[in-house]
Structure 1
Amino acid sequence: MKKIKVGIIGSGFSALAHVEALRRLPDIEVVAISSRNKEKVDKIAAEFHIRQAYADPHELIHDPHVEVVHNCTPNHLHYEFNRDTLLAGKHLLSEKPLGMNSKQTKELVELSNKSPVVSGVCFNYRHFPLVRQLRDEIHSNKHGGVYHVHGGYLQDWCLYDTDYSWRMEQEKNGPSRAMADIGSHWCDITQYILGKRIVEVLADLKTVHNVRKKTKNQVSTFEKGDMFETQDVPINTEDYGSVLIRFEDGVQGVFMVSQVAAGRKNHLFLEIATEHLSFSWKQEEPNKLWLGKRNRANQELVRDPNLLSVEASQLTHVPAGHQEGWPDGLKNLMIDFYGTIKGEVKNPSFATFQDGHQIVLLIEAILRSHRNKQWVKVDNKRMDSEILLGELH
């Protein structure tokens, strides 16, 4: 069997998660990895038996053996490497955001539309079995129309003023942090389940720590900074926020995101109220789907392939009672993406570049809403390079 040859740009958490997910697929081989930290990337290549380690990502992109590129770099590098990969005619899977602003992402959409390659964005939460089951339940029309939605995404890794990473720096991360980093996941999964776009937002954002302590040698997002010499750095991106939303068919909702919620590690949750049932799903308990009822006992559907829709059951890999979680959702994304490359998947469910562009437009609308203190429409024709680095208020 001929294996598809893959190159990974990046050496952080996301890059290693991609490497591990791809190693679980029988017909994929990671043949190259790159990072500007040559010592680190050499170590990773040796550990995972990857043939080639590059200090220059462009060498990886133009390596004739590499057929598919995974862009797992910090946000400010996404546009450049995504653009160059598409121009090189390589298949591309990018971590989100697709670019730093909608001007960049619009250009990438146009490039991808002109290219025969497969391109996608890594919104991995779409690919949990019970997320697909929830989507199928909503689209079955058995439960009546959707009344409203609510939920959020809560973490605590930014709780203290000594918590610091490159994500605190607008030049590397972009003008939004909590909303763009984790709020984008909530918006994508909700739009995917409902099959509807969010078209209008009313946002209220907050920066808890206007000054954070940056260590002089800290490099990892989740590395603590309270044991090193620090310097004070002003912070202009949000630590949390709440957003009222309206969908294109008039359905309303609200969500909250926070990176300063003590005890919450990766609490992505969603509840959808329909005419006859309410549905609730949590990422930290991914093998359960709660079904709420008015005049009968509530139920809990577990991840059992025999109880799920055909499409949802295809996302399970072990029998009922054996737990599957975050790494398996990422594996399902890879199966979907590479099945599309091979022509085996005709109706892929991974997020497209158009989806990634729409999410950037949505985040920009949230920032405008907060600054203007009013409802703002998500304008798909707007190219908001005007969302400038600066103060939230």
Structure 2
Amino acid sequence: MTTDVTASPLRAAIVGGGFMAAVHSRAIRAARRTVVGVASSSRESAERAAASLDLGTAYGSVAELLEQPDIDVVHICTPNVTHAGYAQAALDAGKHVICEKPLAVDVADAESLVDQAAAAGRVAAVPFVYRFHPLVREARARIARGDAGRLLSVQGSYLQDWLLGVDDTDWRVDPSLGGPSRAFADIGSHLADLVEFATSDRIARLCAVVGRAHATRAGAVVATEDAVALAFELVGGAIGTMLVSQVAAGRKNALVIEIGGSDESVRFEQENPETLWLGRRTGSMLLPRDPAQASPDSARLSVLPAGHPLGYQDAFNAFVADAYAAIGGAQPEGLPTFVDGLRAAQVTEAVLRSARDGGWVGLPTARTREEVTA
């Protein structure tokens, strides 16, 4: 079971009123908490979100929301370029923060937020929620205890098609709202986080190329990437590849990672999250999610019995439950914090620099806040 977070009267508010606000609101309620307020781009927008999602009081501005003493934690679900500023303001107001990724669109702002959250003594989390699929935890446990043997290779891909057409567009396409990276910052960051989380290793260096399917979208010039391909090497010596695309026809949310070891390969597919493929030279098999046979952390996240499928919203619910447990003083395993948001910013910056300049780009390999900010 997930950590029980019902002991304290935690009160949540949301900044933003779109798709992710709806996802966050469902997770807040699954943690048996109430959303007491919402702010958006205008009072009218906040009122619409409050009415449609039952988000409590609609505030006329983020500043007004942050002034409320009865709000303990703020969920930031707004366009990318606003994340760092809103997170900083929320921490300044003494709130705990759950900020959608990317935490910041540049490394310097992400570093500043890591320091600010630590100085404030507040829980500050970023929803890299694919970590919360029970079978991702099972894969991580198998690799950590040596079942796969020495790690040799990693293959990862994250493919979508929602921007395939020349007239398909969204605020994320605009760098003034989405930041300098689109496909990688949006979905590639999830894949890179999953690679490092599942292997318990760090990307030491990478070499990337980016692609654009269309020079313009809906009449506007496109300045951000539709796809990224990269090669990388882990600190431990394993080599790997990633392919990220938002223009892959027929693919809706195809996040896949396969980690190859000297004894066993482990493959997780987000669209089929109830089984883990274990590849062996003889006797490959599908391992079903079964809390009775799982590692402790995988079993903890298996809130339904085997045979009752868990999906994306369940993973998101588990992330919010663990973040709230941390606010209550617990130390849940694998909670992604602002340090992980900084890591995503570092990897994204390295991808863009490699694609711009050509060749390999090295990455820092720190894991803790103290190491990151030293």
Q: TM-score per shorter chain, which class?
A: over 0.9
Q: Partner of 1:368 in structure 2?
A: 353
Structure 2 vs 1, CA of residues 314 and 126 (structure 1 numbering), >3 Å: closer, same or farther? same
Give the conservation status (yes or no) of the 8 Å contact 1:69–1:90. yes
User: Once the 2 structures are TM-superposed, how far is the Cα of residue 331 of structure 1 from its aligned partner?
Assistant: 0.6
Stretches of structure 2 lacking an aligned partner (at least 5 in a row): 1-6, 367-374
Structure 2 vs 1, CA of residues 106 and 307 (structure 1 numbering), >3 Å: closer, same or farther? same
**TM-score with structure 1 length normalisation?**
0.89
In structure 1, C-alpha distance between the alignment counterparts of 2:64 and 2:31, rounded to whole Å: 25
User: Once the 2 structures are TM-superposed, how far is the Cα of residue 372 of structure 1 from its aligned partner?
Assistant: 1.1
Mean CA deviation greater in 34-43 or 179-188 = 34-43
For residues 238-387 of structure 1, the aligned pairs below 5 Å read: 238-295=225-282, 297-343=283-329, 345-379=330-364
Give the conservation status (yes or no) of the 8 Å contact 2:297–2:333. no
In structure 2, C-alpha distance between the alignment counterparts of 1:183 and 1:48, rounded to whole Å: 29
In structure 1, C-alpha distance between the alignment counterparts of 2:337 and 2:55, rounded to whole Å: 28
Q: Partner of 1:139 in structure 2?
A: 144
Structure 2 residue corresponding to 1:113, chosen from 96, 110, 118? 118
Corresponding position: 1:60 with 2:85: no
In structure 1, C-alpha distance between the alignment counterparts of 2:70 and 2:223, rounded to whole Å: 42
In structure 1, C-alpha distance between the alignment counterparts of 2:223 and 2:54, rounded to whole Å: 41
In structure 2, C-alpha distance between the alignment counterparts of 1:347 and 1:277, rounded to whole Å: 28
Q: Deviations over 1:205-236 (max 9, x none)?
A: 111101111xxxxxxxxxxxxxxxxxx10001
In structure 2, C-alpha distance between the alignment counterparts of 1:244 and 1:49, rounded to whole Å: 45
Corresponding position: 1:4 with 2:14: no
- AA of the residue aligned to 1:266: N
Q: Partner of 1:202 in structure 2?
A: 207
**TM-score with structure 2 length normalisation?**
0.93
Q: CA RMSD in A?
A: 1.4
In structure 1, C-alpha distance between the alignment counterparts of 2:194 and 2:29, rounded to whole Å: 26
Identity of aligned residues (%): 37
Aligned partner of residue 204 in structure 1, secondary structure: strand
Q: Deviations over 1:95-126 (max 9, x none)?
A: 00111101111111111121111111111111
In structure 1, C-alpha distance between the alignment counterparts of 2:227 and 2:249, rounded to whole Å: 12
For residues 85-96 of structure 1, the aligned pairs below 5 Å read: 85-96=90-101
Stretches of structure 1 lacking an aligned partner (at least 5 in a row): 214-231, 382-393
User: Once the 2 structures are TM-superposed, how far is the Cα of residue 48 of structure 1 from its aligned partner?
Assistant: 4.0
In structure 2, C-alpha distance between the alignment counterparts of 1:166 and 1:48, rounded to whole Å: 22
Q: Partner of 1:21 in structure 2?
A: 27
User: Once the 2 structures are TM-superposed, how far is the Cα of residue 2 of structure 1 from its aligned partner?
Assistant: 4.5
In structure 2, C-alpha distance between the alignment counterparts of 1:142 and 1:318, rounded to whole Å: 26
Aligned residues: 360
User: Once the 2 structures are TM-superposed, how far is the Cα of residue 136 of structure 1 from its aligned partner?
Assistant: 0.4
Q: Partner of 1:221 in structure 2?
A: none
| Structure with higher helix content | 2
